[in-house]
Amino acid sequence: MNRAALMIVATTILLEACVPRYIVIPNISGIAVDSETHSPIVDATVRVRSEDNREFSTETDATGHFAIPGVTAVGRRLLPFPHIELIVQASGYQPKDLSGSYRYDMTGMFVRLQPERPLESELAFVPSEQAEELVAEVAAGMVPIPAGTFRMGVNRGPMRIAAREVHMRAYRLSAREITFEQYEVFGRSTGRTPPVGHGWGSVGQSAINVSWEDAQAFIVWLNALSHRQYRLPSEAEWEYAARAGTTTMYYWGDALDSHYINGDQDPKTARASSPPNSWGLYGMFGNVAEWTLDCWNEVKFWTGKFANPPVDGSAWTTGACSLRVIRGGAGEGEPGHYFGAGGREYEGITTRSETVGFRLAEDQ
């Protein structure tokens, strides 16, 4: 090889070394197991799709293990954390959505898949009288929320979210959060372990230590029982209802007021004596934070704006869907404490927290 050719080769190697690369898909590996027996699941499908729609899939081996090698690309990206869609599914099990933005390789994952159960067999365990009481109680607690338009967002302290105009259709929202008693009817009929309280007892208390997946399972079960179409509220529906036509941080003003909230030391009481807002909703700030339907999406920190958020009140169903938005709450660290109606945070869909519960929504 002559000198000119050597120079070309050397220059090529040097340029390739200097050209920046970014992660499209991180290295992914782990094991899929049955959430109840903890036995490995063979032939489960693991599917991953990148932001630029590159798609890869594999199946678990005889020991339940799987691995998908990482992918990089040439160039620069403004944010170094790639968002990927990651789904693990197997016959006879509920699919697991682990999508999100990941900074590091995802190796050694322990994926628990929940066995599917026919709703008919679950409903058979509910005494007819108890079922009728639950269905009637939930239906009676739904409050009509009027159609309208509002400015959604917050611009206080570190949580700066540029306000945007959102147009809302009429819907219904439960006046109070789902209680332990209501959730325990579901638990008894499906064989689920009841959620653990926090030493406050359970009578009249908001159900806590309930994950987003638990709440979704409760809703599917309740809909089959009641022939209704209950769901979690969207993030926009929650904020619109919490504001109840006001523009202040809280529906009573801009400062925390113990007259309206329970705070850290008092029981998380769904039937609290604190007054409701003008639309008849209790505990939007005073009890626990609450799950919403929305996948987590970050604002652009230099503008405080989202990239193409919904403006019709619907849930944002793309983004980091293994994380879901929580709203409200009175305790320190909860989004409603510092930032009022516009405050938002997230939790993983399998996270069970003593500070998070849920209420129901329904189209009108």
Find, among 160, 1, 24, the residue nearest to 83 by Cα.
Answer: 24
pLDDT(70) > 70: yes
How many Cβ atoms are within 10 Å of 200's Cβ, its own excluded?
16
> Which of these CATH numbers, 2.60.40.10, 3.40.50.620, 3.30.70.2860, 1.10.510.10, describes 20-113?
2.60.40.10
β-strand pairing of 289-296 with 356-357: parallel
Indicate the residue type of 330: A
Per-residue pLDDT averaged across 3-30, rounded? 64
- The fraction of the chain above a pLDDT of 70, given in percent, is 75
Q: How far apart are CA 31 and CA 144, in angstroms?
A: 46
Reference 313, options 224, 208, 239; nearest CA is: 239
The pairing of strands 100-101 and 55-59 is: unpaired
The arithmetic mean of pLDDT across residues 201-222, rounded, is 85
Residue 340 contacts residue 192 (beta carbons within 8 Å)? no
**pTM for this structure?**
0.69
Higher pLDDT: 196 or 50? It is 50
Q: Considering only residues 79 and 54, tell me which one the structure prediction assigns the higher pLDDT.
A: 54
Residue 332: per-residue pLDDT:
54
- Structure tokens, 242: 């919490």
Q: How high is the pLDDT of residue 81?
A: 60
Identify the pLDDT of residue 331.
59
Alpha-carbon torsion 210, 328, 325, 265, what sign? negative
Question: What letter does residue 303 receive in the DSSP assignment?
Answer: T
Q: What is the pLDDT of residues 223-233, one digit of tens each?
A: 988 999 999 99
Q: What is the pLDDT of residue 267?
A: 44
Res 218: pLDDT: 93
pLDDT one-digit tens code per residue, 88-146: 999 989 888 888 777 678 888 889 898 876 655 556 566 667 778 899 999 999 999 99
- The secondary structure of residue 95, as a DSSP letter, is -
Structure confidence at residue 200 (pLDDT): 44
Higher pLDDT, 341 or 200: 341
Q: What percent of the chain has pLDDT over 90?
A: 37
CATH 2.60.40.10 domain extents, the chain: 20-113
Q: Mapping DSSP to helix (H, G, I), strand (E, B) and coil, where does residue 274 land?
A: coil
- Phi first, then psi: what are they for 348, rounded to 5°? -70, 150
Tell me, what amino acid is at 314?
S
CATH number (1.10.20.10, 1.10.12.10, 3.90.1580.10, 3.40.50.720) of 119-363 reads 3.90.1580.10
Residue 249's closest CA among 335, 175, 346, 332?
Answer: 335
CA distance 176 to 281: 7
Strand 142-145 and strand 171-174: the pairing is: antiparallel
Question: CB under 8 Å, gap of 24 or more: what pairs does 250-257 form?
Answer: 250/285, 250/340, 250/341, 251/277, 251/278, 251/284, 251/341, 254/340, 256/337
Which among 96, 81, 83, 107 has a CA at the least distance from the CA of 47? 96
Each residue's pLDDT tens digit, 300-310: 766 667 888 99
Stretch 291-297: mean pLDDT, rounded?
93
Q: Where, residue-wise, is CATH 3.90.1580.10 in the chain?
A: 119-363
Buried/exposed code over 298-334 (b: 16+ C-beta within 10 A; e: otherwise):
ebeeeeebbeebbeebbbbeebbbbbbbbbbbbbeeb
Amino acid 170: pLDDT: 98
The band of 353, judged by pLDDT with boundaries at 50, 70 and 90, is confident
Cα Rg of the chain, angstroms: 24
Work out the burial of residue 121: count CB atoms within 10 Å of its CB; fewer than 13 is exposed, 13-18 middle, 19 or more buried. Answer: exposed
> How confident is the model over 162-204, as pLDDT tens digits?
788 999 999 999 999 999 989 988 888 777 777 766 544 456 7
Q: What is the mean pLDDT of the chain?
A: 81
